[in-house]
Amino acid sequence: MKIYKVASYEQMSQEAAKHILKVMTEKPNALLGLATGSTPVGMYQALIRETRATGFSWQHIVTYNLDEYVGLDALDEQSYAHFMNVNLFDHVSIDQAHVHIPNGKAEDLEAECRAYEASLKTAGGVDIQVLGIGRNGHIGFNEPNDAFEPYTHVVHLDEKTIEDNARFFESKEKVPKTAISMGVESILSAKKIILLACGKEKAQALYDMLYGPITPQLPASILQKHGDVEVICDEAAASLLKGPFDV
Ligand code: GLP
C-alpha cells in the first residue's frame, strides 16, 4: 500500500479528488465506488469545483455506493442516499439512472443484496473505489467479525459504529442497528482503491490496517491483499505510522 501523508484536510480532499478526476478524464464512462461519512465531504466539494471549472460532463459516469442504513429511504435526511444527493449528485450533471445505492427499505433485504452485487458485476467492476475507515477498522459497513463477508450483505452494526454515527442523528437510539454493505470481495475487485483518513481517532485503525495481521476483526486489513491501494491521510491519522512514507 502507498501512504501519502498530507498537512491538512483540504490537501487530503484535493489529492483524493485528483485521483478520481484522472480516472474520469481517462474514462468518461468510469465506474466510481463512493463512500459516505464526514471524511470524503471535502473531496466531493473539490470534485464539484473542478468538474464545473473544466466543464466535465458526468453524463456517462456510473456510481455505486458502499452502503446504506436499513429502514431509511432516500428522502430520509440521515440516509446515505440523501447524503450523496446533498454532497455530490445535486451539484453535477450525473444521470440519476447511473446512480446506485443499496435500497435500505427493500422488503426482501437478502434479495436486494444479491441484486446489488449482480448489478455491480454486470456493470463491469469499479474503476476507482473511495474508502473511509471506522475507528474500529471498518470499511463500508464491514464490521469486526469472526469471518469476512465477501459480498453485499446485511450487517448488524457494531456498538462503536453506532456511537460514532450518533452525531448525525437526534440521539444514539435513532441510529439504525442494521445496514446493507458491499462485502470485502466486492471492494477488493476495484481496479484502484484510495482510502482517506483524518484525525487522531483513526490513527490506531490505520496502524493496524497497515502493519497488523489480516483479520476479520480489523476488516480494513484485507486491503493488504490489493495491489493498488493509496492511503491519503493527515498527520494526526498518520501519527502512529512508521516513516519513510511511500509517496
Ligand atoms: C461510516 C461509513 C463508512 C465511513 C465511516 C467513517 O459508518 N459506513 O463508509 O468510512 O463510517 O466515517 P467518518 O468519515 O465520518 O469518520
- Tens digit of pLDDT for each residue in 93-104? 999 999 999 999
Diameter of the chain measured on Cα atoms: 50
* Residue 12 confidence (pLDDT) above 90: yes
- Tens digit of pLDDT for each residue in 89-139? 999 999 999 999 999 999 999 999 999 999 999 999 999 999 999 999 999
d(CA 124, CA 113): 17
> Looking at ligand 1, which residue's alpha carbon is closest to its atom 12?
37
The ligand 1 atom at the shortest distance from the C-alpha of residue 132 is: 10
Per-residue b or e along 35-48, where b marks 16 or more CB atoms closer than 10 Å to that residue's CB: bbbebbbbbbbbbb
Tell me, what's the pLDDT at 243? Answer: 72
| CB neighbours of residue 236 within 10 Å | 15
Tell me, what's the pLDDT at 242? Answer: 80
* Residue 247 confidence (pLDDT) above 90: no
The ligand 1 atom at the shortest distance from the C-alpha of residue 38 is: 15
Q: Residue ranges of the alpha helices (H) in the chain?
A: 9-26, 41-54, 80-87, 109-122, 159-165, 184-188, 203-211
Q: What are phi and psi of 106, to 5 degrees?
A: -60, 140
Whether 157 is in the pocket of ligand 1, judged by its Cβ within 6 Å, is no
Sign (positive/negative) of CA torsion 156, 151, 203, 101? negative
Q: Which residues are catalytic?
A: 67, 136, 138, 143
> Grid coordinates 501523508 are at which residue?
5
What is this structure's pTM? 0.96
Task: Report whether the peptide linkage leading into residue 213 is cis, meaning its omega lies within 30 degrees of zero.
Answer: no
Average pLDDT over residues 59-74: 97
> What integer best gives the mean pLDDT of the chain?
96
- Rounded to the nearest angstrom, the distance between the alpha carbon of 40 and the centre of ligand 1 is 9
